[in-house]
Amino acid sequence: MHNEFETEKKQIGMGKQAAVYLYDSFAYKVYKPPYPVTWIEYEIENQQKLCKTNLPVVNYFKTEDPYVIKMDYIDGISLGERIKSQGYKQGVEDLIRLQKEIHLIQNIDLPKITERFFSQLEKIDYENKYKTLGLKLLKEIEDKDSLCHLDFHFNNVMFSNDRYFILDWVNIGVCNPIFDFARTYVILYEYVNRMSQKYLSLLKKDKSIETKDLYKAIYIMALLRTAEGAGPRVYDLIEKTYDMVLQNE
Ligand SMILES: Nc1ncnc2c1ncn2[C@@H]1O[C@H](COP(=O)(O)OP(=O)(O)O)[C@@H](O)[C@H]1O
Ligand SMILES: [Mg+2]
């Protein structure tokens, strides 16, 4: 990127793989090698598909630098900050409402990812009996074609001018939405445990959500999370749900 970008950019976000900057009224997501350029191109391509839906997402633009994505800038705060610094109380409800909106999108041209879950489960470094149960449960869960975000949490939702925007669609694909709910639960369980309890009880109360496979999906997503360097809480969750799902088999 040119010199003025380098000197004038203001950092607004920092994730595991990319830093996000504000420059000239746009947001820029800057990856670093060895992050593969093909993955960045894939992220841009997917975002362009999402922009054709009615979901609240930002436009992405290619730049001359293959490691830099230009985006519409959302001048606001994350839902996480809204809850933490502004004492907002309906954050979990809003999260679930947005997530259900995502799942309503069907027949979008994105990869089906249930197969990916199978191969990821086979590869994880975990005691065999846990993996075997995971694979068995994965076979039992009906395959569906809903759009799933799969990294859906409070910091990937921005709030601006009384509206929400959903960010960070790097893991997306098409599958049974129960996996997306389960994945969010696992993330909340690890980082904001109290919120995860509310999230789970609201899911279970919601008549529009089919929750019969929820614990199976939580078990599977917790196991898969260990491949990303999960903390001890995730291992506890695996133990807890292992016994639960086994009892119901
Ligand atoms: N278009 C945007 N407008 C404003 N802030 C953004 C934008 N994109 C990202 N951010 C900020 O940067 C953070 C990290 O971006 P994100 O896309 O979630 O990447 P990752 O979490 O993979 O690093 C976000 O949580 C948000 O605070
Ligand atoms: Mg993020």
58: which residues sit within 8 A by CB, 6+ positions away?
A: 27, 47, 71, 72, 74, 165, 167
The CATH number given to 3-72 is 3.30.200.20
Query: Cα(169)–Cα(203) distance, rounded to whole angstroms?
Result: 22
User: How remote is the CA of residue 6 from the centroid of ligand 2, in Å?
Assistant: 22
Per-residue pLDDT for 10 more than 90? yes
Helix axes 214-225, 177-191, angle to 10 degrees: 60
Q: In what order do the strands lie in the sheet with 26-31?
A: 10-14, 18-23, 26-31, 68-72, 60-62
CB atoms within 10 A of CB 198: 16
Ligand nearest to the CA of 28: 1
Ligand nearest to the CA of 20: 1
Map out the domains of the chain as residue ranges: 3-72, 77-247
**Percent of residues, the chain, with pLDDT higher than 70:** 100
User: How remote is the CA of residue 12 from the centroid of ligand 2, in Å?
Assistant: 12
User: What would the pLDDT profile of 185-210 be if each residue is shown by its tens digit?
Assistant: 999 999 999 999 999 999 999 999 99
CB atoms within 10 A of CB 203: 19
Question: DSSP secondary-structure letter at 155?
Answer: G
User: How remote is the CA of residue 56 from the centroid of ligand 1, in Å?
Assistant: 14
Per-residue pLDDT for 241 more than 90? yes
Per-residue pLDDT for 1 more than 90? no
Going by alpha carbons, the residue nearest to atom 4 of ligand 1 is 74
User: What would the pLDDT profile of 56-76 be if each residue is shown by its tens digit?
Assistant: 999 999 999 999 999 999 999
User: What would the pLDDT profile of 125-148 be if each residue is shown by its tens digit?
Assistant: 999 999 999 999 999 999 999 999
Does residue 224 line the site of ligand 1, with CB under 6 A? no
User: How remote is the CA of residue 51 from the centroid of ligand 2, in Å?
Assistant: 18
Q: Which residue has the higher pLDDT, 1 or 94?
A: 94
Q: List C-alpha distances in Å: 94 to 48, 57, 153, 227, 235.
A: 24, 16, 11, 29, 28
Does residue 56 line the site of ligand 1, with CB under 6 A? no
Whether the domain at 3-72 and the domain at 77-247 fall into the same CATH topology: no
- What was the pLDDT predicted at 54? 97
Going by alpha carbons, the residue nearest to atom 11 of ligand 1 is 13
User: What would the pLDDT profile of 95-125 be if each residue is shown by its tens digit?
Assistant: 999 999 999 999 899 999 999 999 999 999 9
Residues 225-248 have a mean pLDDT of 95
Amino acid in the structure at residue 141? I
Per-residue pLDDT for 249 more than 80? no
What CATH architecture applies to the domain 77-247? Alpha-Beta Complex (3.90)
